[in-house]
Amino acid sequence: MRRIRAVIRRARINRLGLRWRRFTVAVADSKIIGCVQLKVHRDGTVELASLAVERDWRGRAIGAQLVADCIARHPAALHLMCTDKLVAYYLRLGFAVVALPGLPPYFKRLMRVLALVAPRSVKRGRIVVMARGA
């Protein structure tokens, strides 16, 4: 878990809710070079979360391979939350942007909380929820 946390920290993404048993990792030279987790929320929504690839390994489709593995293990609907800068990346992987009325309960609650703590980001569309197979 310590190694996964280090990858997440270097990627500067959310470090809350990390559970090592939910992770899939990519390994090279006995080092974790990428990771992703599938979170199952109380409402049944499955979230693709914590996707990170070490800087020196980016551009080699490692993230796409990790996502493909998650899709193969969970072919039903997958949701994710990302910044607007990553929308094009996830579109290429088969995800689509989900409008607020169509969000599952977990993401509706999360967007309401984010609207309180980061209102400009939500209002300007910098935080996006996407889904695949929904």
Q: What is the CATH number of the domain that holds 21?
A: 3.40.630.30
What's the number of domains the chain is made of? 1
Domain carrying residue 59: 2-132
pTM (2 d.p.): 0.90
Cα dist from 11 to 4, 76, 111, 130, whole Å? 11, 27, 22, 20
Please list the pLDDT of the chain residue by residue as tens digits (134 residues): 889 999 999 999 988 788 889 999 999 999 999 999 999 999 999 999 999 999 999 999 999 999 999 999 988 899 999 999 999 999 999 999 999 888 999 999 999 998 898 888 887 888 999 999 87
Candidates 113, 106, 114; CA nearest to 131 is 106
